[in-house]
Amino acid sequence: MIIDGHCHVWDEESLSKELREVIVSIAKQHDFDPNLILNGTPERLVEEMDEAGIDKAVIVALDYQYLFRGKVSYREYNDMVAEMFNEYPDRLIGFAGIDPRRGKEAIQELERCIEELGFRGVKLWPLTGFYPDDMKYYPFYERVEELGAVIFCHTGEGPPRTYLKYCRPVYIDKIAIDFPKIKFIMAHMGKPWTDEAISVATKNPNVYLDISAWEPTFKMVPFAFFQTLVQAKLSCGIEKILFGTDWPLFTPILSLKKWVRGIKKMKLPPPLQLMGLPEFTDEEKNKILGENAAKVLGL
């Protein structure tokens, strides 16, 4: 089974001017036409999943309203994502977008999303301006733990106009210790703080890493990608590494099909081979591509 553990979905008409500018800025950073990623419909996602041989994908809602204006509220975004995964129940899995700064309202929305709408977890987006390990949010995490939900947290770089300082992987360490029953997935392997992310995942049995948004590095600087992936494998273990794409943001650089194929056929660059580092076995590649995510998500 192949599982894409990190996808975004949106209807272009529902994007506010500010959110559209964020998406356009990502395209400008990587020098491609923004129209290639403004279409974030589930129909397009499932079509590209079929082309790539991806069985299931996690689609995440975002609670962005502490930083960006939007045409839809965070609750409406969660409702929209719920409609999407209910339309494709065998293919899509939902994570709600909830900012813990909302206090009691955040807990109420968490309960609604998990118990009524069928979400598997919650997406935290600290780049909008909060430290995930602030103890003010512990009542929210306590309810996450009670509900058996997974926490998926952005770590590392984000788009322009977002705050980098809140996104260090070390901010997952304390809550992973204090809430050992919650499984935490750190998006993007914490890039550029990959050493820190790997350390947090190594010492905490309930913390995992995903490789989403690494497509540009894989294509243009493959040595850096493989060096980091080998480090993660040898430090925290192959079972902690999850496949992800950040769809559709990097599809102009590397399609889902090519990203999956790249992982299936990956071979260490000669300098790493000369160092005697171990190649990735087919069994290990299968774990990255889906087996690990299936266990984290309880599939």
> CATH no. for residue 95?
3.20.20.140
Bridge partners (DSSP) of residue 186 are 153, 209
What is the separation of C-alpha 292 from the centre of its chain, rounded to a whole number of angstroms?
14
* Cα–Cα separations (whole angstroms), residue 185 to 86, 211, 245, 282, 286: 23, 11, 14, 23, 18
pLDDT at residue number 166: 98
Neighbour-count burial for 156-169, b at 16+ CB within 10 Å, e otherwise = bebeeebeeebbbb
Straight-line distance from the first to the last Cα atom of the chain, in angstroms, rounded to the nearest whole number: 10
Give, for 153, the enclosing helix (H) or strand (E). strand 150-153
Count Cβ atoms below 10 Å from residue 82 Cβ, excluding itself.
Answer: 20
What is the separation of C-alpha 51 from the centre of its chain, rounded to a whole number of angstroms?
21
Phi first, then psi, for residue 183 (nearest 5°) are: -90, 125
Percent of residues, the chain, with pLDDT higher than 70: 100
Domain that holds residue 128: 3-297
| pLDDT above 90 (res 13) | no
This prediction has a pTM of 0.96
In this structure, of 58-72, 125-139, 199-213, 280-294, the range with the lowest mean pLDDT score is 58-72
| pLDDT above 90 (res 169) | yes
DSSP 8-state assignment for residue 281? P
SS3 at position 256: helix
**Entry field: residues in the chain:** 299
Percent of residues, the chain, with pLDDT higher than 90: 90
pLDDT at residue number 12: 84
In this structure, of 28-32, 55-59, 170-174, the range with the lowest mean pLDDT score is 28-32
Instruction: Quote the tokens at residue 223.
Output: 């040595």
Rounded distance between C-alpha atoms, residue 240 and residue 210, angstroms: 8
Phi first, then psi, for residue 202 (nearest 5°) are: -70, -45
Of 81, 71, 77, nearest to 16 (Cα)? 71
DSSP 8-state assignment for residue 106? H
Q: Do 260 and 268 contact (CB within 8 A), yes or no?
A: no
Count Cβ atoms below 10 Å from residue 69 Cβ, excluding itself.
Answer: 10
Mean pLDDT (the chain) is: 96
DSSP 8-state assignment for residue 120? -
Of 124, 70, 129, nearest to 100 (Cα)? 124
* Cα–Cα separations (whole angstroms), residue 225 to 107, 111, 137: 38, 38, 34
Rounded to 10 degrees, what is the CA torsion of 223, 229, 230, 232?
Answer: 150
Rounded distance between C-alpha atoms, residue 110 and residue 140, angstroms: 8
Q: Do 61 and 74 contact (CB within 8 A), yes or no?
A: yes
> How many domains does the chain contain in total?
1
